[in-house]
Chain A
Amino acid sequence: MVFPAPAIAFLLLTMLFPVAFTLYMSVQRWEFSALDPPTFIGLRNYADFLFNDARFWPSVARTFAFTLLAVAVETVLGVAIALIFNREFLGKGLIRTIFLFPMVATPVAIALVWATMFDPNLGVLNYFVEELGLPPVLWTSDADWVLPALALVDIWEWTPFITLITLAGLSSLPSEPYEAARIDGASPRQILWDLTLPMLRPTIVVAVLFRAIDALKTFDIIQVITQGGADFSSETLNIYAFQNAFNYYHLGYASAILVFFFMLVMGVSILLLRVRRAAE
């Protein structure tokens, strides 16, 4: 009982206290002031953003759109690449290592590089687009392009993560079913679809779970590249809460949004965990 006590105390302090304090702040009105203390206003913050805030629901929708797009592409690409990397070929070790680089790099540095590449006038992406004889794209300046463009950065950065986990799953697959399948004359295609992928499913679900939770909470690349622009077309919940707290000084309101966001992420996690159990 004594030995885990420091760990439990640490956990309480660093995890439970911030959550509890955010909950407390979410029912207060406080505008960062030395003169006016927080005042209790019940659930008014929640009611305000749920029913009265033109920027709230669109930011919820964007949070999910970004996550869905990014994680879907990452999963397909990541698993496909893992299957390729699982074969023997020349320079496999080196290529596998290089492939992990995006995941290791600092997100803010990555975001700055991408922001430069996205620049519609000076960026390298439009240079290639124009070399191909296509009309230039506005990338993050265009309300329709900005979320896919940001998802592209996330995909570039995090596809290796899915690959890594899938590779681990692949190496732990039993070899007997494959021998049996080969004896029964299964084609490589049948082996992939009827054997490898079903056996990998629990692994892939875990990878998707991790990525989905992380993608929902994406803050760094959006904050660095667009700060929620163009217009508000990349303003996700996290960005909107940040604006409210640090640019508008509505700390109570931002806390309420974050409590809502917390529950949202919890909900998605529980849902995905259920899927995982079903997959097993």
Chain B
Amino acid sequence: MTTSRSRRLGGAALNRRQVLGGALGATGLILTTGGRSPASPSAAQATFDWKKFDGSRIRLLANAHPWTNSVKPVLAEFQELTGIQVQAEDLPEAQFRQKLTTELSQGTGSVDVMMSAPAQEGLKYDQAGWYEPLDRFVQDPALTAPDYDFADFAPRPIEMQTVNGKLIGIPVQLESTMIIYRKDLFEEKGIAPPATFADLEAAAEALHAPDDRLFAIGLRGKGAAATSQWSSFLYGYGGDWLDPAGAPALASQPAIDAFTYYGNLARNYGPRGVENNSWAENVALFQQGQLGILVDASVFKVNVEDPSASTVAGKVGYAVFPQGPAAHDVAGFTWGLSIPASAKNKEAAWYFVQWATSKAQNLALLQKGVPVARQSTWQDPAYVETSNKEFDQAQQTSIQISKHTSNPPVVSVQEVRDAVGPVIIAAIQGGDVPAAAQQANETVKTIIAQSG
């Protein structure tokens, strides 16, 4: 889905990878490339007309997400800077998607900025013609402040925000599957964070004490919701959702190995009733001190470190998802800000997007615990001063090695996830995995034939 790196973005972006050469946060370098003016940010700021759309009104439809909570209190700053009024509306994820889909399908231009997760709906929204490509805004010096520094975004999240060669969003948050573990328990048992799948199982075996209400490992078990975290296991076994020809590969040996390994781990070392656990249930268990390891998205660091909700805050360690028998890959995921093709105030909307994804806003977000996509932010002294180095390291490494997103690269993501979910449940319950996988593969074949 993110095939093209030549995003018609002009020299700066195209050169970025080679310029950065893998060095993180090489912010100093960026100013010297792409023919940008070496002017200092504050001088550049002065020449950029933030008031160009003074008096406009835009409507933001967002998922009730840490990003949204973080940006809502500072919307007044944007309104002061630009004179653009923002009407922000946020809803829990399921209702948010339903409302967004309904409004976009009406094509009335009621939404100017939307939150979007391309790994979930990117191909669908692009196929439906709902995304405004953002490349032209990023390239336009009249619309993008010189100190915006697009090249500062890490390559991987930009890749994930690129659908069919078009940049459809700017990432506001970046997450990856991660090993979130109880440092105190690991030390007690004398075990190190797992480096391989075998280590993970050994650690789970050592930690599991269900009679003392300590379950070793929290894996999602709730069918469709589980597929996104299961996918890292799939990649570790060298599998993928589709084969190179685009046909589903869910009954392949690597997929069956991944289902079986995942199901065994969850059954033998997981909390009871794990088949109905998604992230919310497992995060709650971890917060209550009932889980030794949580394998889930790195974004939940905020929750497990929140002293008002978590009894284990401060005792938590972070490690990169372990190496599989065939590969070391970690599923990544981003939320971004996108502009609907039907939006009435696209330029004003872009002003909001660039402000919300600026260095200053990224820093504020990261300080609140939301992993961000700008590389320089992770090196910002204001952040590094108080940051959890183990988490920073795990997050940066995860993104560097991540080659896939957590979802199947298809149009009907949710339908495919729902079809794969029963295989995970069968695996957890010790059922006939190859048969279930074969059946899911057939279902997915039909889905792809119908919707892509």
Contact = CB atoms under 8 A, between A and B. Distances in A.
Interface of A: 31-36, 54, 119-122, 136, 138-142, 226-227, 229-232, 243, 246-251
A34 B126 CA distance: 10
Interface stretch (B18-26, B167-175, B248-256, B271-279): B271-279
Interface in B254-283: 271-277, 281
B422 A121 contact: no
Contacts of B422: 231-232
Interface of B is mostly: helix
B281 A119 contact: yes
B414 to A, nearest CB: 4
Contact of B272 (A33, A136, A226, A248): A136
B127 A33 contact: yes
Interface residues of B, number: 41
Contacts of A230: 222-223, 275-276, 425
Interface of B: 94, 97-98, 101-102, 104-105, 107, 124, 127-130, 213, 215, 221-223, 271-277, 281, 284-285, 288, 290, 341-342, 412, 414-415, 418, 421-422, 425, 443, 451
Given A122-B285, A248-B415, A32 B273 contact: no
Contacts of A247: 97, 414-415, 418
Contacts of B101: 32, 246, 249
Given A35-B128, A122-B285, A246-B97, A231 B273 contact: no
A249 B412 CA distance: 8
Contacts of B443: 54
Contacts of A54: 443
A33 to B, nearest CB: 4
Nearest to A118: B276
21 contacts: A31-B128, A34-B104, A34-B128, A34-B129, A35-B128, A119-B281, A119-B284, A120-B273, A121-B281, A122-B285, A138-B276, A141-B276, A141-B277, A229-B275, A229-B276, A231-B421, A246-B101, A248-B412, A248-B414, A249-B101, A249-B451
B137 to A, nearest CB: 20
A248 B410 CA distance: 12
A34 B288 contact: no
B223 A34 contact: no
A34 B276 CA distance: 36
Contact of A34 (B215, B274, B341, B414): B341
B451 A31 contact: yes
A121 B124 contact: no
A36 to B, nearest CB: 8
A96 B134 CA distance: 62
Given A33-B129, A138-B276, A141-B275, 8 more contacts: A32-B101, A34-B104, A35-B129, A121-B281, A231-B422, A247-B415, A248-B451, A249-B124
A48 to B, nearest CB: 10
Contacts of B98: 246
A232 B426 CA distance: 12
Contacts of A138: 272-273, 275-276
Nearest to B291: A121
Given A31-B128, A229-B222, A247-B415, A142 B284 contact: no
Contact of A231 (B124, B223, B271, B415): B223
Nearest to A120: B273
A222 to B, nearest CB: 13
- The 4 A-B residue pairs whose C-beta atoms are closest, nearest first, are A120-B273, A141-B273, A141-B276, A33-B128
Contact of A122 (B129, B284, B421): B284
A140 B105 contact: no
B222 A34 contact: no
Contact of A140 (B271, B272, B276, B290): B276
A97 to B, nearest CB: 33
A232 B341 CA distance: 36
Contacts of B414: 243, 247-248
Contacts of A248: 412, 414-415, 451
A243 B421 CA distance: 14
A248 B213 CA distance: 38
Contacts of B94: 227
A34 B130 contact: yes
Nearest to B424: A231
Nearest to B422: A231
A122 B288 contact: yes
Contacts of B276: 120, 138, 140-141, 226, 229-230
A250 B414 CA distance: 12
Contact of B425 (A227, A231, A250): A231
A31 B447 CA distance: 13
A246 B101 CA distance: 7
Contacts of A33: 105, 127-129
A52 to B, nearest CB: 9
Q: Which of B223, B273, B290 has the most CB of A within 10 A?
A: B273
Contacts of B290: 121-122
A120 B272 contact: yes
Nearest to B414: A247
A246 to B, nearest CB: 4
Contacts of B277: 141
Contacts of A122: 284-285, 288, 290
Nearest to B425: A231
Nearest to A119: B281
B415 A32 contact: no
Given A121-B290, A122-B288, A246-B97, A34 B105 contact: yes
Nearest to B99: A246
Contacts of B124: 249
B269 to A, nearest CB: 14
B425 A34 contact: no
B107 A34 contact: yes
Contacts of B415: 247-248
Contacts of B127: 33, 35
B274 A141 contact: yes
Contacts of B275: 138, 141-142, 229-231
A201 to B, nearest CB: 41
A34 B106 CA distance: 8
A121 B214 CA distance: 10
Contacts of A249: 101, 124, 128, 412, 451
A238 to B, nearest CB: 14
Contact of B271 (A32, A121, A139, A227): A121
